[in-house]
Amino acid sequence: MTRVALPTAAMRDRLQSWMPRADISVWSAADDALPCPEVDLLVFPYMAPLSLLSRIPAHSVSVIQAQTLGFDGAAEYLASGITFCNAVGVHESSTGELALALILAAQRGIPDAVRDAATGTWAHRRRPGLAGQRVLVIGAGGVGKEVTRRLAPFGAKVIVVARTPRAGVRGLDELPVLLSGADIVVLAVPLTAETHHLADDTFLDRMRDGALLVNISRGAVVDTDALTERVRAGAVRAALDVTDPEPLPAQHPLWSLPGAIITPHLGGDTDAMDGHIDRLIVEQVRRLDEGLPPLHAVIRA
């Protein structure tokens, strides 16, 4: 009988009829009143800081299933004898959806319309739109693909860039030239040592005047101070679902700049999420039952 720890009673209620052979307990790493149970699979709470992984003792849990795709920093907190799996297939589509929401809102003036509503102001003016714009998607993984797929019917000119050039994907070495030709730049890379502050002074200075930077990956892929300075100057517009730090402090100057749209890390969190994460957990339990290795194991501590 596979022992499973789920972080919420709501998740247990959704899942128990789908895992009749599992022994399910409810334990959240965010709850320090109870000790971590010894289980085969532990589902880590959604949006909890990865530092809480340190509450899970070595060898007490065989596999941890995260509910996020990004796992930068997880290795630091993971005790030995534990395999850590990220949530591949759970958030890519809704993050791609949010990228389009941010791009279209910025290109069609939705934030101005919301601000104008406060004073009952009907202020028609031409907007750039998305059709015909040159969009550079940086990252060709799951999220990058979902962004690109949704851009297709809008008549934009889309170029995808990634570390490894291949058919339909240009290499990162071409980034300097491609940046200077893009109206919209979408960051869809994982946060790694290599992508930390990818959008730095040099990157941002290569962007066209008034171009839009969309970040749906992780805040630290952008040098926030460098970006803030350019948004304030009107050189670059920004649409950010992730910031550095996160949450963005109430006093941060980015909040008040009309050229910035900031959403509070909503990327994966839609009504579609429960179905995606549930399917992944059921599949992982089935694999453990059958003695198969778990899917998406990204760290083995």
Q: Which residues of the shown chain bind its own copies in the complex (CB under 8 A)?
A: 47, 93-94, 97-98, 100-102, 104-105, 107-111, 113-132, 149-150, 152-155, 246-252, 255-256, 260-266, 269-273, 275
Of these residues, 229, 246, 252, 283, which one is catalytic? 246
Task: Report the residue number, 127 or 166, with the smaller CB distance to its own copies.
Answer: 127
Smallest gap from Cβ 239 to its own copies, in A, equals 9
Q: Is 246 designated active site?
A: yes
Cβ 221 to its own copies shortest distance, Å: 18
Question: What minimum distance in Å lies between the beta carbon of 244 and its own copies?
Answer: 13
> What's at 215, amino acid-wise?
N
Q: Count how many Cα atoms sit within 13 Å of the Cα of residue 72 in the half-sphere of its side chain.
A: 14
Task: Bin 3: left if φ > 0, else alpha if -120 < ψ < 50, else beta.
Answer: beta
87 neighbors 65 (Cβ within 8 angstroms): yes
Tell me how crowded residue 125 is: count the other CB atoms within 10 A of its CB. 6
| Active-site position among 170, 237, 265, 276 | 265
**Nearest residue (CB) to its own copies, 163 versus 252:** 252
218 is an active site residue: yes
Return the number of the residue (271 or 290) whose C-beta is nearest its own copies: 271
- Under DSSP, the state recorded for 222 is B
Cis amide linkage into residue 264, ω under 30° from 0: no
Q: Determine contact, residues 78/86, Cβ cutoff 8 Å.
A: no
Beta strands at 170-171 and 83-85: parallel, antiparallel or unpaired: unpaired
160's tokens: 């995808």
Give min distance, CB of 141 to its own copies, in A: 17
- Residue closer to its own copies by CB (options 116, 205) is 116
DSSP 10-69: HHHHHHGGG-TTEEEEE--TT--SSPPP-EEEEEPPTT--GGGGGGS-TTTEEEEE-S-S
Among the options 218, 237, 276, 296, which is catalytic?
218
Q: Toward its own copies, which CB reaches closer, 145 or 197? A: 145
CB of 240 to its own copies, least distance (A): 10
Which residues form the catalytic set? 218, 246, 265
